[in-house]
Amino acid sequence: MFNEVVTRVHKVVTRAHKVVTRAHKVLTRAHKVLTRAHKVVTRAHKVVTRAHKVVTRVHKVVTRAHKVVTRAHKVVTRAHKVVTRAHKVVTRAHKVATRVHKVVTRAHKVVTRAHKVVTRAHKVLTRAHKVLTRVHKVVTRVHKVVTRAHKVVTCAHKVVTRAHKVVTRAHKVTINTLFPT
């Protein structure tokens, strides 16, 4: 009678040990997969962070260049206005100062060309500034998404690690129950 009870208890404990062992294997595999995923997401996070830094630096450089060209554009526009006014004055005084008129006309042409060049550069840099601003926004969004994913995977990693510890303890208890020292 006592032997039958011991045999039944032994069967129950053996089955429990098998279940715990299987659970331990499954959680160990899950732990490995999540550890790999964590590494991959961490690497992606580093890459996106670096890209974000680079784009931010480029954005700063283009913003500074845009400011410089905008200032130059203002200066050349003012100079263009001044030269245009001077051109009108010299044209009125054409009979008296034909030579001066020629000099101012040449200066007017030069300033007009410079004005066109700077205006074109201003347009190009404005477009580049817009594009880089969009890229900066996109990279910032991607950075936020990857950071969130990184947090989620880190939390999952912690949960699986805790479950792994619990199953490992249960496994030890089962072994100690089956094979007491």
Q: How many other C-beta atoms are found inside a 10 Å radius of the C-beta of residue 178?
A: 12
Domains identified in the chain and CATH numbers: 2-178 (1.10.287.2610)
Tokens of 34: 């999540």
pLDDT of 95 above 90: no
Q: For 57-86, what is the mean pLDDT?
A: 91
Task: Give residue 174's pLDDT.
Answer: 85
Report in angstroms the alpha-carbon separations of 174 from 40, 47, 84, 178: 35, 45, 97, 6
**Tens of pLDDT along 114-162?**
999 989 999 999 999 999 999 999 999 999 999 999 999 999 999 999 9
Which sign, positive or negative, has the C-alpha torsion 5, 9, 12, 18?
negative
Distance CA(55)–CA(48), nearest Å, equals 10
Task: Give residue 94's pLDDT.
Answer: 64
Distance CA(83)–CA(104), nearest Å, equals 8
pLDDT band at 109 (very low <50, low <70, confident <90, very high): very high
Q: How many other C-beta atoms are found inside a 10 Å radius of the C-beta of residue 168?
A: 14
